[in-house]
């Protein structure tokens, strides 16, 4: 009577297939974890830019300084710079505001125009 069992070759083949699946799966989860962290920092940087734009929009038109200002800010645990560039077109009483948040080798930029009321 013959016993039904796995041969060593079948066992090794199954082991290799399972190992490849586990390595691929772990690489997938590692890449996703990095993407989640990057997305979170990008979201927070966007909110820092929006915060600056809303602060300037709430100010009186004459109180919005023309020129470039740079602030050091913290996004989560990451150090960043928020660069605000305000230009004015006096012929139409309009100020253009560009806010850029820069961290590591990444950045986001938002722009708006503010009219004199």
Residue 10: per-residue pLDDT: 85
- Kindly report the CATH number assigned to the domain that includes residue 70: 3.30.1300.30
- Mean pLDDT per 10-residue segment, the chain (117 residues): 72 90 86 84 96 96 96 94 97 96 96 93
Tell me what pLDDT residue 98 has.
Answer: 98
Decide if 65 is inside a domain. yes
- Chain centre to alpha carbon of residue 111: 17
d(CA 28, CA 47): 29
Split into its structural domains, the chain has a count of 1
Residue 39 counted as domain residue: yes
Indicate the pTM of the whole model.
0.74
98 is a domain residue: yes
Residue 106 falls within a domain, yes or no? yes
How high is the pLDDT of residue 6? 66
pLDDT, residue 26, reads 87
DSSP codes of every residue in 64-97: S--EEEEEEEEETTEEEEEEEEEEEETTTTEEEE
User: Could you tell me which residues come within 8 angstroms of residue 70 by beta carbon, excluding any fewer than 6 positions away?
Assistant: 81, 82, 83, 84
Q: What is the pLDDT of residue 3?
A: 64
Which pLDDT does position 30 carry in this prediction? 82
Domain that holds residue 56: 8-115
- The two beta strands, 67-75 and 94-103, are unpaired
Cβ contact 102:81 at 8 Å: yes
pLDDT at 85: 98
CB 36 within 8 A of CB 82: no
Name, in order, each residue with C-beta under 8 angstroms of 115's C-beta and a sequence gap of 6 or more: 61, 92, 93, 94
pLDDT score at 35 = 81
- Quick check: is 3 in a domain? no
Task: Answer whether residue 64 is part of any domain.
Answer: yes
């Amino acid at each position: 009577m013959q016993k039904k069992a796995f041969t060593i070759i079948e066992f090794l083949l199954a082991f290799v297939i399972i190992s490849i699946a586990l390595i691929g799966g772990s690489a997938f989860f590692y890449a996703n974890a990095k993407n989640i962290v990057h997305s979170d920092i990008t979201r927070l940087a966007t909110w820092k830019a929006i915060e600056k734009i809303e602060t300037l929009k709430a100010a009186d038109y004459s109180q919005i300084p023309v020129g470039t200002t740079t602030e050091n800010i913290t996004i989560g645990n990451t150090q960043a710079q928020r660069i605000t560039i305000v230009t004015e077109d006096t012929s139409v009483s309009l100020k253009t505001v560009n806010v850029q948040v820069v961290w590591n080798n990444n950045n986001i930029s938002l722009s708006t125009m503010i009219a004199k009321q």
